[in-house]
Structure 1
């Protein structure tokens, strides 16, 4: 489901395999386990890069799994687990970078944007908030992340209210991501280089995490609001 590699002070969390990396409880719990390991093994100055194998970074929640039995309960479970993953990322004592290696849709897009920096391949893949197209209402905590991470109202409108499939080039133009790269390998390479540059700053991890938690205090408040899940 996922693997964790350490190169010096850089942790590389990879969603493995060639499927859509749908965010079901099995994958979400595996990510949480990897993040716990990152936290326990981190040195005073580290960085995390998250990427994926195959055509997809993540195609969002595993709706087929949810529809198999008690759809609302299963979707609430996935939402609760993703909130935990995002909380773990926000409180992680190091810079975090997503190397988006393919399509990142709905909850998969939220996972990518929950990192401090977002890099993306330009030869394949897009960011896509599909909720309008699949007739689902965005959870309030999704919106809190989108507002915190995308400064331009016009860019938010394009992604959310037009359900546009935003390419890497377009995402750079409208300020959703930090940079675009030729292919998956170059994207991961750039993410690792960015992480290495940040590690060289020698920041105290706990200070970095506390400052990030202050910056994203509204996001954390929304994640903690149990009513956010009840509106799915």
Structure 2
């Protein structure tokens, strides 16, 4: 099946009220997207993001749903509501993995290890699984998940984060393999430092994380990545230009890593 044109599609973005999710919403709307639902935990931030997007793209239908992406019942309800509002979900951007802070493994209590991994991975994986039935019934769709290069490069302080990101990467590969026969494409983006996001500000303010990511920035010979750089790849992967691209994990790091 050919990928649906962006100017005919409906998109659902979990984590769409700020950072990479909001930048992805903007990129898709600039590409002509007519219908969009953004999802986030904070209703106030959701209302502000919706107003901003609606003002800059008055011809598009834009809605917001409050949801905790780590809670299966809330995710399912949000997907059903979005599908009802838009008629179909052609594009899913899943980037509600929270704002995990690097911590050396020995400082993470034993009973917090698995909840930490589950929270990070669940916020991205659950929305992807939840749209599967809708995309299967309609004969196709594009799913773009966000992880990070911690899935590929072992870094002190990111052992639990890396495990969660690796889970997202392998989930996307497996889902792509299973869902391709139904015209569904699944890809994963793995940035490192993204310099204009709320998480970046938190990382830089933290003594341990600030030192870790400050060192990483010195390796970004092509420039520190911004949310718009990630969003441009999201728009490409959602478009017919990427109709035969699936199961890929794409690093966007400005040269911090080459994996």
Same fold (TM over 0.5): no
Query: Normalized against structure 1, the TM-score is what?
Result: 0.31
Query: Normalized against structure 2, the TM-score is what?
Result: 0.29
When Rg is computed on C-alpha atoms for both structures, the one with the higher figure is: 2
